[in-house]
Structure 1
């Protein structure tokens, strides 16, 4: 598995683009050539929009004080939950994972998704 960011690195990341900037998400995802990228693109109110491009499983984690919204743009994303259930999302499908729910995402091949969560949200990794 590719090296993934620490919880501190993840929460300290700031948005790449300021307000009133047109962001070409298709072009942004095309620049990702490695197995994992998760970038904060934009801030909106107290949330940020992230672009995740990956082809592997992410770590088990939770966000104690932030819901997390996933919208798959390309590929297939499985969201595994600690209770043993899972949700499978294809292109243009979305789901909200409520704050505090332990989960991990797994890409089935190269997957591109947009995620919305609280800016600098606390992430607790459980592995």
Structure 2
């Protein structure tokens, strides 16, 4: 399955699709996604953003040098592999913080919907897969 992942510049420059004080229907938005990969900024707040990712399969190995990243799974099962830690598995309404500078890769088992919270414009650095993984 072919996925069109955004460039690091496009990822970092995206701004919220919804204004402050606007009600965002996350369930309706995720139901509208038909592509195998969609990641969009829904809201901006205090120099941070909330993204919604809907995807199947695996994302690329990467890190955010200066931003923690919080994952909250809404639907499906999300595996997060790490270069230097054991894999974590998140199911609906489970969350984890990935500290800044941590090399990781997300992998969705079936269609998965997750919310992520990170610095607005957070730098993303794509890396080669860790040896042995």
Aligned residue for 1:50? 51
> Taking structure 1 as reference, are residues 84 and 96 closer, same or farther at Cα in structure 2, changes over 3 Å only?
closer
CA distance in 2: counterparts of 1:72 and 1:84, whole angstroms: 20
TM-score under structure 1 length normalisation: 0.97
Uncovered stretches (5+) of structure 2, i.e. residues with no partner: 129-133
SS at match of 1:9: helix
SS at match of 1:122: coil
Aligned residue for 1:125? 126
CA distance in 2: counterparts of 1:30 and 1:43, whole angstroms: 22
CA distance in 2: counterparts of 1:32 and 1:17, whole angstroms: 17
- Runs of 4+ with deviation above 6 angstroms: none
Alignment RMSD: 0.8
TM-score under structure 2 length normalisation: 0.93
- Aligned pairs for 1:1-127 within 5 A: 1-83=2-84, 85-127=86-128
SS at match of 1:51: strand
CA distance in 2: counterparts of 1:115 and 1:19, whole angstroms: 18
Uncovered stretches (5+) of structure 1, i.e. residues with no partner: none
1:56 CA displacement: 1.1
CA distance in 2: counterparts of 1:84 and 1:22, whole angstroms: 37
